[in-house]
Amino acid sequence: MTTPFVSSSVTDIHPANVNAIDSLLGDLRWMNPAISYSFPISNSPFFWSTQPGFGYGSPFGDGEPWSNAAKPLTSTDQVNFEHALQQWANVANVNFIKLTETTDEVGDIRAAYSEDPETSTLAWSYLPNFGAWAGDIWINTSSLLNRQEWDPGAASFKTILHEIGHALGLKHPFFDPENDTAATLPADLDNTIHTLMSYTYANLQGDQGNDFSFHPTTPMVLDIAAIQYIYGANMNYHAGNDTYSYDDANTYHETIWDAGGIDTMQYTGALPTLIDLNPAGASLIGQAVYVQSDVVNLGSSIPNVWIADGVTIENAMAGQGDDVLIGNNSSNTLDGGPGIDIVVVDSQRNQYTLNRTTTGYTVTDHTNSGNQDTLMAVERLEFSDTELALDLDGHAGQVAKLLGAVFGTAAIANQEYVGIGLTEADQGLNYEQLGEFAINATGLKTSDEVVTLLWDNLFGSAPTEAEKSPYVKLLDSGQISTGALAVLAADSGANTDNINLVGLMQTGIGFI
């Protein structure tokens, strides 16, 4: 029990011998994972230790409770503070118990305002220790936290999350001259997209800033790993089958901790989206989030929804736009929805078997029987060495059929030609326009030449006068465009047999 004069028991945190975790570990943690908190309302010495070296010093000194600026949190502050506490309790095996302060009992964590004239100091706090001040969090009345509500997404809410991280036993991940042998994170990890305990706002391109357009609303991947190392994971949080739903109306900057079950990330918006289901993977979902320097966005938008280490999210459903989906090492259902959607597999083609099903495709990993992904409404499949177009009922089918009719069956194997056609189709050419584009690429000028070419490619020999003249007349009279004639030829049974459209549907068609 914490009294105003004696803190609860603490115990050593031992190194994990993993740099990314050790860089965040303080020396001591609370022994009991039931951690109390309170909001002080009095600066009477009956509520604060004045013992030298152990408490806040003499009531006549300049210790935090004795400051003229010291004051309790507002009721709105208290609600937001408790919301921040909950973000830590969601991921770690701790629970927070609220106490009303008495002269006999106060919280392990106590939060109130005091003053640091340095306005850039938003707040400060004390890690678990033997002193009565251990776990206490002080908000600077000179800072914007005294003027701004601590709403999720604001710098102020992230600051409260950061201070609670300290109050639980996390340190800063960067060099501290007063603790110069402590582990520190390398520069690519020492930033706030990976840990709330950092002071640095770099994005993945390394652009430095001094703010986010929207701040993290949960502990991030490295915070979760470190706090779970110290206290254990919260294995009751999202232990069932969960759907994480995202839309365009909201902005997200968070890390998902999920204790089990069959889970889905679902995006219902229309913005282009990247969903990466890998543990410690990063997705771009919903409204874009930026690192900023003096309110100016730096570089591209930053990954804004992360998955904690050790978490398996099985399924992803993308939105209305052109999306990218990345599965993990378990069996995933990846549903692209509308748009031209790409599934990216970070291995070579020959490690996988591709099979067509009634609803799409399955992609099976030879080296891991637990990794068979089901693809639905996925147009493109990108391996590390091969790209396949699977939309033989869509753009890829139009391109393949036109290549067969206009350039001959062998052109199907020309991955460069396939790639050019797909780019044109994906960028908006309709089937007839694509046919026109293909005919123009042949350089042929006269109707006779065009009809002869198409006939020859379909039937393997030049047409007779009688065979070609009706089509030449249609073209010359303008009753049919060259593009439409190319489509007519492309859709003919002779052509689809020639190019083995049924077979292409099984295998997809390669392109570059």
Rounded to whole angstroms, the Cα distance separating 123 from 119 reads: 10
Task: Measure CA 357 to chain center.
Answer: 29
Instruction: Give the active site residue among 64, 105, 118, 163.
Output: 163
| Dihedral over alpha carbons 127, 133, 135, 139 (to 10 degrees) | -100
Beta-carbon-side half-sphere exposure of residue 409 (alpha carbons within 13 Å) = 15
- Give me the count of residues in the chain: 512
Give 304-342 as a DSSP string: -EEE-TT----EEE--SS--EEE--SS--EEE--SS--E
**Cα-to-chain-centroid distance, residue 41:** 41
3-state SS class at 363 = strand
Contact 334, 315 (CB under 8 A): yes
Residue 284 in tokens: 């771009």
User: Which of 121, 311, 100, 110 has its CA nearest to residue 218?
Assistant: 311
Q: Using an 8 Å Cβ cutoff, are 360 and 377 in contact? A: yes
- Specify whether the CB–CB gap between 119 and 140 falls below 8 A: yes
Separation CA 132–CA 3 (nearest Å): 8
Q: Which of 161, 274, 149 is nearest to 215 (CA)?
A: 161
| Contact call for residues 221 and 312 (beta carbons, < 8 A) | no
Contact 84, 109 (CB under 8 A): no
Tokens describing residue 263? 């889970």
Query: How far, in Å, CA of 241 to CA of 247, rounded?
Result: 20
Known catalytic membership, residue 163: yes
**Phi, psi at 450, each rounded to 5°:** -65, -45
| Alpha-carbon span 345 to 329, nearest angstrom | 10
8-state DSSP, 407: I
What residue type is assigned to position 390 of the chain? L
Residue 241 phi, psi (nearest 5)? -85, 115
Paired residues of 400 in beta bridges = none
Q: Say whether 382 sits in a helix, a strand or coil.
A: strand
Question: What angle separates helix 482-490 from helix 431-442, to the nearest 10 degrees?
Answer: 100
Catalytic residue IDs: 163
